Structure 1
Amino acid sequence: MRIKLINKLCQGLLLIASSLFVINVCVLLYGVVARYMIGHSPIWMDELSRYLIIGTVLLVLAPAWLQNKHMRVEFIENFLPHQLVILIRVYTWLLMTFLSGYVAWISWQYAFSVSRFMTMGLDISKTVPLMALPVGFACLSLVAFLKGPQLNRYSSNSTKG
């Protein structure tokens, strides 16, 4: 049940991130075509593209961590005693879960603290693009919490189910 929930959440995040990426490519292509056809691209294009790529990256945090697609020095564990490996994995799990949860909380507060300020190109509240931070880190914290620490010495970080 828990593994299915994690996989569905990560599939949903990847679907949304892929959609944002496709929209970003379309915005960039529109900007290039506009630059060559009418001599200039819209002012909002660069800003929207930046926010879309930031949102894409932050939404992929949890699936990337779950599938072990992040940078991690794991070869040292091969030379350590099993009990120490378990201790390190529990420590990194606690660190990942609580630190990403804390970053989600702090970025949530920050996003709403700047709600009265507007972006220059899109003329929307700065809260809208900044919400990618708490959403991405909250999803990472949730997935890490649900998955739990990997205590098996030779298991990978990916969840199959």
Structure 2
Amino acid sequence: MNRSGTQESFLSRLIGWLSELAGYASSLLILASMLVICYAVLLRYVLGASTVWQTELAIYFLIFAAFVGGAYGLKHGDHVKIDVVVNRLPGRVQLFVRFVAAILGFFFILIIAVIGFELWWEAVQMGRRSGTAWNPPLAYPYFILPLGMTLIALQYLVIVAELFQRLVSGRPGGPPPDETEDETLIE
């Protein structure tokens, strides 16, 4: 059972697991980017040498953390939201507004994912490279955007399904599906 008392499907649990994995992978890549930058600083200022790859790799790691880690943030309600007006609405109206917002968010993210896949595929077909001294193929960093947006879109589907179940069953109470119960109790 999930936090709102409904049974989660296997697909919902799988998407949740993927979002968690994305969050942990993102945190590891933030740490890795910090280590890469520290290595470059140490190499440059202590040994007087330089590298051609560290800045670009650190940037790619941080891009991964931002886009792919977004699914983890959405799952845990750690995204930007302005709900001053929504929180003052009656229960079912509030639930409906959150449902519509989740559907709109899903379609917006889906559009970005499709465009991202097109850009990635073009980079793969054309064999594009970064053009820097390191010059890695752009297929790898270009895949970050569609991957992240796909994971976020899947997480939005879980939220939409849970909100829809709550609307149909008439259970407007409880925390929104993208927030933990602890956060709701604190507010």
Instruction: Assess same fold via TM > 0.5.
Output: yes
Amino acid at match of 1:10: S
Are 2:10 and 1:13 aligned?
no
Please provide the CA RMSD for this pair: 2.0
Q: Distance in 1 between matches of 2:180 and 2:90?
A: 24
Aligned to 1:123: 135
Native 8 Å contact 2:102 2:159 kept in 1: no
Greater relative contact order, per chain length (Cα 8 Å cut-off, separation 6+): 1
- Letter aligned with residue 126 of structure 1: L
- The aligned counterpart of 2:73 is 64
Instruction: Work out whether 1:25 is the aligned partner of 2:34.
Output: yes
**Alpha-carbon distance between aligned partners in 2 of 1:153 and 1:73, rounded to the nearest angstrom:** 19
Letter in 2 for 1:155: P
- Asked if the contact 2:70–2:148 (Cα under 8 Å) also holds between the matched residues in 1, the reply is yes
Structure 1 residue corresponding to 2:83, chosen from 48, 56, 74: 74
- Counterpart contact for 2:30–2:65, Cα < 8 Å: yes
| CA shift in 2, pair 1:98/1:128, >3 Å | same
In 2: Cα distance, 1:130 partner to 1:142 partner: 20
SS in 2 for 1:84: helix
Offset of residue 30 of structure 1 = 0.7
Alignment of 1:40-59 (within 5 A): 40-59=49-68
For 1:114, what is the secondary structure of its paired residue? helix
- TM-score, normalised relative to structure 2: 0.76
Aligned equivalent of 2:175: 155
Contact 1:24 1:52 in 2 (8 A): yes
Q: Which residue of 2 aligns with 1:141?
A: 153
Equivalent runs, 1:77-96 vs 2, <5 Å = 77-96=86-105
Structure 1 contact 48–122 (Cα < 8 Å) conserved: no
Tell which deviates more after alignment, 94-103 or 38-47: 38-47
Fraction of identical pairs, as percent: 21
Say which is worse superposed, 83-92 or 31-40, in terms of deviation.
83-92
- CA shift for structure 1 position 100: 0.9
Cα 1:146/1:49, change in 2 over 3 Å: same
Gaps of 5+ in 2: 1-7, 167-171, 182-187
Letter of the structure 2 residue corresponding to residue 31 of structure 1: A
The 2-side partners of 1:80 and 1:38 are apart by 62
